[in-house]
Amino acid sequence: MDLKINFSEYINHNNENNILDKINENVINYCLDKFILDQKIFPYFHRNGFWIENKQLIFENNKNNIRNLHKVAVEAMRKKYKKKLKPIEKKLLEYIANGYEIKPNKIKPKIILVDSRHELWNLFNYIKIHWSIPISSGYGKRLTYLIFDSTTNKIMGILGLCDPVFSIKSRDNYIGWKKLDKQQNLNMILDGFLIGAVPPYNMILGGKLIASLLFSNQIREDYKKKYQGTKSFIKERENTGELIMISTLSALGKSSIYDRIKLPNGQKFIKCGFSNGYGEFQFHGSLYNEIFSFVSKYYLPSQKIKEWGSGFRNKREVIHKFLKSIEKPQSFLRHNINREQFIIPLCKNYKQVLIQNEEPNYYDISIEEINEFMKRRWIIPRTKRDKRYLEWKKENYSLWI
């Protein structure tokens, strides 16, 4: 227990009891705050669909339950953006297509790289908060895109790429690299934290087209242009600008969007297992805010690298300290919600590049080639079988109007 106290504020040579009084006061407050939070944990888990067996969290793992689990966090994110986006929602809805406006044979995607300085950044965030799970802003290196249909000038979907998580067992085992290889070459990988289509394009399997655009030459070129020659913050290792692979996890267990994505030149989404169901999103919303306040009040960050700042490393460190303080098992960090792991190779010899530092033999495919194949393979057949997309109205996308 750290029980942070700035002793310099309380030392009084004329009254040494002040120090002991302050320590006793902090201990009493700590015990009270800990007791109050401790009493909230089990009811909170039960409300969110978890139960506990043998000190393990158990969850009935289906897509509806996962959506319900994230509902509070999604509402919190929408509330965060509401003040800024609600006044312009009517304008933002003009970017959403009505179903009858889509011409499946003529769909022509255009990828636009955006960031917080871009005039369309509000549109990116507006679409992001429609997802059924809360979407972060990514971290580290980032590429974020809006994909428009040039035929209708309406938004088709979005892509968000960021620095990869250092340790993902299924990914690392599939690649076959050791720790040193990974430390040297992890900057050749990005994680897809946001990949998908918006209605009505999602109704005609537009999500598969959006995901397939990750193979396009433009993504690699944008990465090289933005990051070649930059240096990592801590180790100051220079980035070559080579993007070899993208990895991603399905949002809701087994993926139907990424499944069977394969292009004629051999590019494909490769399944490499499932995540191990370990993380922190089972602690979210107002409860996490209380946990963070408690840990910040009584504990010191364990971070030892001054360049990373003086705060807690991440959410996991906060939860770890909290569970330890209330004498609950660290196994509560395992939510047992397994997400399907995919890797998206951008070159034919990606394993050899990442392990043996070979020169990359990139796939060469344009947005136009990807689009024409995916329309023939998925989109046009779907529109012939299912006409419900024609009934979609852009007003259906509204959150607040």
Contact 397, 199 (CB under 8 A): yes
Predicted pLDDT at 223: 97
Burial (Cβ within 10 Å: 0-12, 13-18, ≥19) of residue 393: middle
Count CB atoms within 10 A of the CB of residue 256: 14
For 181-213, the three-class secondary structure string (H helix, E strand, C coil) is HHHHHHHHEEEEEEEEECCCHHHHCHHHHHHHH
Rounded CA-CA distance 161/164 in Å is 9
Short-list 251, 249, 274, 278, CA closest to 57: 278
Short-list 364, 313, 339, CA closest to 192: 339
Predicted pLDDT at 7: 43
Mean pLDDT for each 10-residue chunk of the chain (401 residues)?
Answer: 50 54 74 89 82 79 70 84 97 98 97 96 96 74 96 97 87 89 92 95 97 97 94 73 93 77 93 76 78 87 61 80 87 77 95 94 96 97 96 97 82
pTM: 0.83
Residues written for the chain: 401
Predicted pLDDT at 227: 94
Predicted pLDDT at 6: 47
Under DSSP, is residue 245 helix (H, G, I), strand (E, B) or coil?
strand
Torsion of CA 191, 133, 325, 167, to 10 degrees: -20
Rounded CA-CA distance 229/210 in Å is 29
Region label for 300, one of left (φ > 0), alpha (ψ between -120 and 50) or beta (otherwise): beta
Contact 356, 185 (CB under 8 A): no
